[in-house]
Chains A and B, each alone.
Chain A
Amino acid sequence: MTVKWILHWTPTPGSVVNSQILSEISQCVESFVNAVKDGRWKATLTFYRPNLRDQSIPSEFPRDFLGISLLEQPNKYYFIIRGNKIILEADSTILTIMEKLQSYKSKVALNFEGVQYKMGDFQMKVVKVVPNQGESLRGILIEIEYLPISSIEKAKPIMEEFLEVWREVMSKKSLPGHFTQTEPHFADYKLPDNYTSQHTAIQYAAALAQLIQSAQLRG
């Protein structure tokens, strides 16, 4: 699988994330390097909370138990416990099992809706983060992909330079904010150098965690 880097939009303190910024960013991508719109993309992320009868028991259950589904893997579902750096790739029928077991309840569900652009050997997605019920924009992510390489190490120099070029283009627009990359720490999750959908799931979880954190900081 080809290597992807995911970055999240960090607005400058005092400004908000709104749909205008989203359209500006999309325009940037469209005019960047002869980009061609290539389709839509979707992923979902769900926060789970243990379903305890006695709520007063101090929870020894993980607080950050996430479930992610990706468009490119329709038959798979990914579980992540960020605190313990665990990722599990399961069949999508696990959702039926969870429903039957009723041991975990879905607390919050978010949708990632993206538009994909193709520019030569690179691909970019502009992704907006919206809650499952509702239309309010919670965050913006971009995903960069270099198609010829599947090794994370090998792709690093190329991706870094692409990011530099992208940041130059973005700076011309002088938008209130910038894109930051969360260090995904794949090795902590014991993942190999060859990129897979598990890596994607971890990156999205990390990016979302950062988004939430920065949103909380802004108050």
Chain B
Amino acid sequence: MAHYAQSKVYESTNEGSKFSLLGCEALKTAQMQQQSQQAPPPHSTSTPPPAPPSSTGGSAAEAPPKQVALAMDKLGEAERIIADIRIGADRVLEALFVAASQPRHGTKPLQLFLKEDACMRRYLQDLRSLGKELEESGVLSESVRSRKDFWGLHMPLVCPDGAMVAYAWKRQLAGQAGASAVDRTRLALKAFTDQKRRFFPHLDYGLETNESASKKRCGSVESTVDPKEESSILKMLPDVLNYPSSNKLRLGSLGTVATEKVAVIEMLVPSTFRVVISLHPAGSTDPDAVAFFAPEESGSYVHARGFSVHHVFRHITDYAATALQYFLGNQVESSLYCLLHWICSYQTLFSRPCSKCSRLLAADKQSAFLLPPVLRPYWQFSLSKILSTISSKDHTSDITPAYHVGCFSEEL
């Protein structure tokens, strides 16, 4: 049974995040293009715009919710036009290829190429005019942000790094504890991968998605780690921790946009458990809280301070709090690293029998419920010990003992 560790970010249900980064970049390119050229007056767009004919003055006359809705519609249109452009580009290349490979077939390939060329020009023109409309309604620039009307609504905002939010204030909230775990996790993972890519390009251990990056930009980043690579990724962490020369790495202090810092880490061991760790302060490597859940559990209580409905995971969460305090106290520099390794030892939760009584299930003293061995000693996990285990190239054997709650206290 291969064990895979997966860190997964949920696709936000926020409408705004369904737009691909690529699309937003193309939109900005269109905006820049129209600024650099003397743009001819826009042709009528191929799809009738939902806004009233006078796009400049008309938007101000509508109620803000309608403005927001219109803006969202236009962004949707923009996305469709961008998709058409991408397909059109393929077709143009195909036409060129046909023309080049069959020079004797007369003018037919040439006609094809001209047709595709005309289509592309039309799409780009549509996109330019749409971009102009959006810019006027304040979606692409931050100028409207400060203009808050009495509805408290803002126009949908395309942020400098390409992410899109339906309401600008949501970005602010997302950095704070009040935001939903979905938003925080999504932004956290995005910020982390962006900055990792920027500042540690040599550390590309295959944490990137398996498919081409352009396909998976819709706000959901998924990475699968196979067992051989898992140790190499965990090897990466000491590098991260020791960069540059100080022993503590603060991702936020590397001088980039400070609104996104890694705040939540979620790890899934398929069919076994899901663990949520929160970091505090955001951007540091100090774990703050940790909680275990069943893989299928979902709901607003699935966060680093929540409790699972299952007794086994409640016990582990309680115990993990103790382990966390130990790591924070004794392994100050590498507490997150040790914590993650200790959590990994729970992969065998439902298969490894207790090291004392050799059974898998034992009755809990208080509740009399049957539980698997939920305790795994944490004081054996120190940075030096973990590194020596990894370097000894023995990944398959996990020798961490496991105990039932009852068996353990007798052991002491």
Residues in chain A within 8 A of chain B (CB atoms): 33-34, 119-122, 147-151, 153-155, 157-158, 161-162, 165, 193
Contacts and interface: CB of A to CB of B under 8 A. Distances in A.
Given A148-B310, A148-B313, A158-B350, A120 B369 contact: yes
27 contacts: A33-B368, A34-B369, A120-B311, A120-B370, A121-B310, A121-B312, A121-B370, A121-B371, A122-B370, A147-B294, A147-B310, A148-B294, A148-B313, A149-B350, A150-B296, A153-B271, A154-B271, A154-B350, A157-B350, A158-B361, A158-B372, A161-B359, A161-B361, A162-B361, A162-B370, A165-B361, A165-B370
Contacts of A158: 350, 360-361, 372
B309 to A, nearest CB: 8
Contacts of B359: 161
Interface of B: 1, 270-272, 294-296, 310-313, 350-351, 359-361, 363-364, 367-372
B112 to A, nearest CB: 46
Given A157-B350, A157-B360, A119 B369 contact: yes
Contacts of B270: 151
Contacts of B360: 157-158, 161
Contacts of B295: 150
Main SS of chain A's interface residues?
mixed
Main SS of chain B's interface residues?
loop
A163 to B, nearest CB: 10
A120 B372 CA distance: 12
Given A147-B310, A148-B294, A121 B361 contact: no
A120 B271 contact: no
Closest 10 CB pairs of A and B: A120-B369, A151-B271, A34-B368, A148-B310, A148-B294, A161-B360, A161-B361, A154-B271, A120-B311, A121-B311
A33 B364 CA distance: 10
A117 to B, nearest CB: 12
Nearest to A193: B271
A103 B317 CA distance: 56
A161 B313 CA distance: 19
Contacts of A33: 363, 368-370
A149 B313 contact: no
A121 B369 contact: yes
B310 A34 contact: no
Given A119-B369, A122-B369, 6 more contacts: A34-B368, A120-B364, A147-B294, A148-B310, A157-B360, A158-B361
A157 B351 contact: yes
A121 B367 CA distance: 11
Given A33-B363, A157-B360, A150 B370 contact: no
B300 to A, nearest CB: 20
A122 B370 CA distance: 8
A177 B324 CA distance: 50
A148 B308 CA distance: 10
Contacts of A34: 367-369
Of the candidates B312, B350, B370, the one having the most CB atoms from chain A within 10 angstroms of its own CB is B370
Contacts of B1: 153
Contacts of A165: 361, 370
A177 B310 CA distance: 33
Contacts of B370: 33, 119-122, 162, 165
Contacts of A150: 271, 295-296
B362 to A, nearest CB: 9
B319 to A, nearest CB: 16
Contacts of A154: 271-272, 350-351
Contacts of B368: 33-34, 120
A120 B350 contact: no
B139 to A, nearest CB: 43
A83 B270 CA distance: 34
A4 B296 CA distance: 16
A153 B370 CA distance: 19
A158 B374 CA distance: 13
Contacts of A149: 271, 294, 350
A172 B270 CA distance: 39
Contacts of A119: 369-370
A155 B296 contact: no
Nearest to B296: A150
Nearest to A122: B370
Contacts of B312: 121, 148
Nearest to B272: A154
Of the candidates A121, A162, A193, the one having the most CB atoms from chain B within 10 angstroms of its own CB is A121
Contacts of A148: 294, 310, 312-313
A142 to B, nearest CB: 16
